[in-house]
Every structure is written in C-alpha cells, then in structure tokens.
Amino acid sequence: MENKTGKYFKYAIGEIVLVVIGILIALQINNWNESKQDQIQLKSSLEFVKQNLNEDIKNLNKQIEYNENIQKAIDISFRIIFLPEDENYTLDQIGNIVKEREFYAVKTAFKSMETGAHFKWINDQNLIEAIYLYYTDTDKMSKMVEYNNKFARDKIEDFVYDEWELGTYFSDLNPYDDKRIPRIDNTKVIKESIVFENLLLGRKSKTFSEIRWSKRAINDATKLINQIEVYLIEQNK
C-alpha cells in the first residue's frame, strides 16, 4: 500500500508539473503572438507617420512659395514708393501683402500612436525623441504663422481701412458710386506714410522667418522619414 501510494503521489506530481509546463508554454506562445501583433501594428503606425511627414513637406513648400509671393508684393509696394516714375506697377498688384495662409503639421498618425500607447513598442529612444521633437517644433512654427497672420490682419488691413479710399476699388458695392467724388490719392498715402513703410518692413521680416522655419522643418521631416525607414529595416532583420 505504501509503495502504491508513493507511486500515485509521484504520478500526480508529474501530472501537475506537465500541466504547469503546458500552461507556461501556452503563455509564452500567446506573449510571442501578442508581441508579433504589436510589431505589425507599430510598423503600420510608423508608415502612417511617414505619410503624414510627406504631407507636411508638401505643405511647407507651399508655405515657402506663399511667403515668396508676399515678398514680391512688398517689393512692388517699395517700387511704387521709391520709383514713382515707373507706371507699370499699380496698387492693385499689392493685395498679396495681407493674404493669410495657415500651417499645421498633420498629426493624425502621431495622435493615434499616443492614444494606442504605441511608443512603448519602439525600442529606440532616439527615434521616440526625434518624433516628439519634430511635432513640438512644428507646433511652435504654427503659432508663429498665426501671429504673422494676425499682424497682417490687424496692422496692415487696419491701415488700409483707416487711410485709404476703398471706394476706388469697390465701386460696385456703392449704389451711388456715380455721384462719388474721389477725396484721397491712395498712391500718395503710401508714398508719404512712414507707418506704411514700417509695416512693409515688418511684414517682410516675418516672411523671412517663416521661410527659414519652413526649410528647417522640411529638413527635419526628411531626416525623420529616413530614421523611421532605417528603424523598420533593422526590425525586419
């Protein structure tokens, strides 16, 4: 009886050990599957970040073009002021000075990764920091662009409304325009106003800042795309 009891006890212990080993193996397989799924999801997310960055590069190039057009319009204004004998330039050509354009980085993938806690799956701290730094810098740029738009809207537009005779350009809005007699020479106003010249200089200096920031952001976005691509290649080895 004692021998049989000992055998049964050993058999039971063996069965328990086998069950425990089976559970551990199952857990390991499950963890491996989950880790594999996490990496698949991470790869998809990083590819999405790359798409967003390429969209940013396109928008940043448009931002540069927009600011260059403003600079051309400002130079036309300077030409009117300082080269009055040149009749090929009129006030109608300087409307671009007060045009506005916003820039906001496309953050769809970034926000999705934050919400889904995908950053914990990246085993490269430098890449994580580069992604966060890029979006921090572009947020700062967006605020600068907002401020520059406000400058054009509040300063230059206000000057135009206060100092110019807009009826010259919006005759169709006045039902009695045929009775109106011009009272202000708009060209003379901008030639004689030091305030307007200062506003032009301020607006142009801000366009240079936007162009400089845009070029740097393009460079940063391009570097980040390459960094993501290198990381994905390393993970596939």
pLDDT at residue 174 in the model: 86
* Whether the Cβ atoms of residue 125 and residue 82 lie closer than 8 Å to each other: no
| Residue corresponding to tokens 């807009």 | 166
- Residue 24's pLDDT band (cuts 50, 70, 90): low
Residue 3 burial (C-beta neighbours within 10 Å; 0-12, 13-18, 19+): exposed
pTM above 0.85, yes or no: no
Q: Long-range pairs for 110-113 at CB < 8 Å and ≥24 separation?
A: 110/49, 110/52, 110/135, 112/45, 112/48, 113/45, 113/49
Task: Return mean pLDDT, the chain.
Answer: 86
Q: What is the pLDDT of residues 72-90, one digit of tens each?
A: 999 988 988 888 776 666 6
Distance (Å, rounded) from C-alpha 114 to C-alpha 128? 11
Query: Residues of the chain with pLDDT > 70: what percent?
Result: 81
pLDDT score, position 30: 52
Closest C-alpha to 75, from 125, 67, 152, 235: 67
